[in-house]
Amino acid sequence: MSQFKGIASLAQSLRARETSAVELARQALIAAQTHADLNALITVDAAGALAAAERADVALATGDASPLSGIPFVHKDIFCTNGLRTTCASRMLENFVPPYDACVVEKLGAARAVTIGKSNMDEFAMGSSNENSHFGPVRNPWDRTRVPGGSSGGSAALVAAGVVPFATGTDTGGSIRQPAAFCGITGLKPTYGRVSRWGMIAFASSLDTASVLARSAADCALVLDAIAGHDARDATSVDRPLDDYMGALCKPLAGLRIGVAREYFGAGIDAGVGAVVQSALKEYEKLGAILVDISLPNAHLAIPAYYVIAPAEASSNLARFDGVRYGHRCAEPRSLEDLYTRTRAEGFGAEVKRRILVGTYALSAGYFDAYYLRAQRVRRLIANDFAAAFESVDLIAGPTTPTVAFKLGEKSADPLAMYAADVNTVAVNLAGLPAISVPTGLSEGLPVGLQLIAPAFAEARLLNAAHQLQQVTDWHNREPGARS
């Protein structure tokens, strides 16, 4: 059985008794070991996976199963897992074992999906390359000298390599969509508030969004159906009925208006990436969609606004890691001040420290109005641009990233160049909108992603458009190494 089968295909095999959940779990664990050179897993839970698989097999045998029952997957190591180490890829939480499950973990557990472990990530989800991990960088399965994208790079690499058919991720400024693009898979960022953040360790609370990376839009729809919904424990969770994500997949696209934002094809976009995305847009025209030229005039302000707001929120959220309650604690502190300063100096990596410093500065007396308040005003302008665009179009399209995956270490010494990798994704988080990255071709032999953006809570429309493209192209089925 091919290791690159999707969720629906594996579920059919389980129900036909062609395989078992235990066998799938064993295959995933073997594949994880085979691809250990990717450094995509922080914690492997073989015993827990096999026990969960046995329970899934019982549910399948008794007819008490969901579409995800018995399907192996990994959690990004930012979701709290009861009794299983949750590190956020940081020395600060290297030995932290939560006493409870995150809401997303609970829901996938209730669906009897089988967790095989926790994936590597940028420390506290801060990064665009998955090089900022205490446990070392993750490598891209398409080219092990290149980054998989971040911060959900471990999850993306494991799906792209065929270790698991799906993985959870989080998206604060593009951290699901960007690694999906770099690794040639599908990555969905839902509307802010559609999926509970409870038990997801916070980076930037007004931006963080939980969701899924998988091979196809159909697989993303299956997982979103399981994890979406209101959660009273999360004050930002929206109490709104769910759409029929699976039922919407096969709707024809005739008359769908897709806005092509000229700002997404400007300076900084590689010619090869732009050509691949334009080719995908022509496929949409063949499917009956109408392309509309639009403008998002404040798009160029997204990066500076994001890199004030996100660090400011990170500064506040990460203040809790002080060596007093849990997490890393320095040895033999001489005073309370020494405890705080040495614990945080030892526990946090360079990028996390950089963002804490920037955020603390932006929130400090005398600078709050000049930086943080102004960034929030720009955030409103960006949201207004999207609202105006959606008066004339149903979706907005452009390249997910301006380039293909770059070399490991290529941008490590230049934070501004690294931040620019998120130029097409961060605005979506600032506006709280849903978006998806779909593989649409190769440039320089590496995957290129098309980003589709929808109005709030229009995930069904996004998944429909992505699925229809994947019915007439096969880029989402390409395996690493398939360069033509």
What is the set of active-site residues?
76, 151, 175
Tokens at 402, concatenated: 């301006």
| Bridge partner list, 195 | 228
| DSSP one-letter string for 343-403 | HHHHHS-HHHHHHHHHHHHHHSTTTIIIIIIHHHHHHHHHHHHHHHHTTT-SEEEEESSSS
Please report which helix (H) or strand (E) contains residue 116, including its range.
Answer: strand 114-119
Phi, psi angle pair for 195, to nearest 5°? -120, 135
Neighbour count for residue 6 (Cβ, 10 Å):
20
Residue 359 CB partners (closer than 8 Å, separation 6+): 308, 310, 311, 312, 313, 314, 315, 316
| Strands 72-76, 114-119: pairing kind | parallel
Place of tokens 């380039």: 403
DSSP state of 188: E
Amino acid symbol at 24 = L
Which ranges constitute the DSSP H helices of 134-176?
Answer: 153-160
Alpha helices in 198-326 (DSSP H): 217-227, 271-286, 302-317
User: What ranges make up the beta strands (E) of 123-185?
Assistant: 166-171
